[in-house]
Amino acid sequence: MNPEQRKNHRGGARVQKPESPRREKETKREKKPGRPRTKKQKILLGLYIALTVVAAIIVAGAIVFGLMSAPPEVALPTPTPRHTTIINEQGEEVEVEIPGLSAGRKEQFYTFLVAGVSGGNTDTMLLAAYDVPNQKLSVMSLPRDTYVIYNGRTVMINSVYSRGGGEEGGVEALKKAVGSLTGVTPDFYVLVEWEAVGELVDAIGGVYFDVPRRMYYNDLSQHFKIDLQPGYQLLDGNGAMGVLRWRHNSDDSGHILNSGYAMGDLGRIKTQQAFLKAVADKLFSLQSVIKIPEFARIFSENVTTSDNLSLGNMIWFGNQALNIGTENIHFTTLPGEAKTVYGGSYFVLDADACLTLLNESFNPYKADLTTSDLDIKRVG
């Protein structure tokens, strides 16, 4: 080994060995840019990102809604004394004062007055009771011709809203009349414009319904026409409004023909209840859940609610209602019959039957209502 070779061997700079062809190939492979994504991969990636963002929004919305959601607080009514006439021991008629109902309330049991307005009067009136713990919704129709006393005068209950001045004053007058008549003063009211029904039915894609008879009505003054054939069919919003509003047929000029329901307003109520049940079946279906934003818009534009029903309360009720099965939604009618009173045709209540029905499904108090809580004495 010559000196130069010894120097390199003892610690000089190492002689660089040429890289093997295999290592050089691997290095080149590492520096090679990644393969571009295909169109399908880009679409899948975009969908994944979009779904992630949507999921985050839903979770955030659920948290916000959860924070806003709150059950409403309802106070016991101030006991209002009533006056009635009894026969004393001497056989004389005397007027006595009866203290108003002051029993405690059932837990999370709420009552609502729902009224549809048409031409200044309330065309449809419902008293609803929602028993949240038992997930039971009871809905009772109040016949529009029901006999009541308003400001000392005999009137039909559908005129109380307009007699009270309409809007808030009219609703308060109607609530008072319903409370006096049934012993249950509604906790909340919901005033519905007819247009809301049509928009709601269109939003859920229509409703299949068995129209009970030929319905033809032409109202030239309101530019409103009903033209429906009998039978099972898919109704859109206009058809739905026709079914709910129809009372009797007319000719093309709008002259009324004597061809309404055989049972009068009770026949109309029966049809309305059957249709509302069909709407509820469709509304609580899975495919309708994704349309909640559209329902909220319709509600905000066409529905007026009482001041004590906040947005948080409505969110809470909506969350609770998701657990209601349509088999737990029950429709009924305030018991009574059509009679002639003071020369007019009115719907007169059956006090005993009313009391039984109210205590079974609509009484929000722990103690049963009694006949003294129902102001039917002047209606019998």
Residue 53: per-residue pLDDT = 62
pLDDT score at 104:
83
Token pair 């609610």 is found at 305
Q: Is the confidence at residue 292, as pLDDT, over 90?
A: no
In a domain? residue 89: no
Q: What is the pLDDT of residue 64?
A: 45
Query: Tens digit of pLDDT for each residue in 42-52?
Result: 566 666 666 66
Q: Is residue 94 part of a domain?
A: no
Does residue 281 contact residue 246 with C-beta atoms inside 8 Å?
Answer: no
Instruction: List pLDDT tens digits, range 189-222.
Output: 999 887 888 999 999 999 999 999 999 999 888 7
The rounded distance, in Å, linking the Cα atoms of 10 and 6 is 6
- Is 90 a domain residue? no
Element (H, E) at 111: strand 109-118
pLDDT over threshold 50, residue 12 = no
pLDDT tier at 272 (50, 70, 90 boundaries)?
very high
How far lies 214's CA from each of 122, 242, 251, 264, in Å?
Answer: 25, 11, 13, 15
Give the confidence band of 313 by pLDDT, cuts at 50, 70, 90.
confident
Higher per-residue pLDDT: 278 or 301 = 278
Tell me, what CATH number does 278's domain have?
3.40.630.190
* Residues of the domain holding 290: 106-373
pLDDT band at 67 (very low <50, low <70, confident <90, very high): very low
Q: 14 pLDDT exceeds 70?
A: no
Whether 21 maps to a domain, the answer reads no
User: Domain count of the chain?
Assistant: 1
Residue 26 lies in a domain: no
pTM of the model: 0.73
Residue 289 has pLDDT above 80, yes or no: no
Residue ranges of E strands in 194-343 = 207-211, 215-219, 224-228, 231-235, 303-305, 329-333, 336-341
- Summarised one tens digit per residue, pLDDT across range 134-158 is 999 999 999 999 988 888 788 899 9
Q: What's the whole-number mean pLDDT along residues 249-257?
A: 90
Domain assignment of residue 38, yes or no:
no
**Which residues lie below 8 Å from residue 124, measured CB to CB, with a gap of 6+?**
115, 116, 141, 144, 244, 272
Location of structure tokens 């924070």: 67
- Confidence band of 364 (pLDDT split at 50, 70, 90): very high
Q: Which distant-in-sequence residues (6+ apart) come within 8 Å of 362 by Cβ?
A: 111, 127, 129, 138, 140, 182, 184
Confidence label for 362 from pLDDT (cuts 50, 70 and 90): very high
More confident residue, 34 or 109: 109
In a domain, 18, yes or no: no
Residue 299 resides in a domain? yes
pLDDT tens-place string over residues 154-196 = 889 999 999 999 888 899 999 999 998 999 999 999 998 878 8
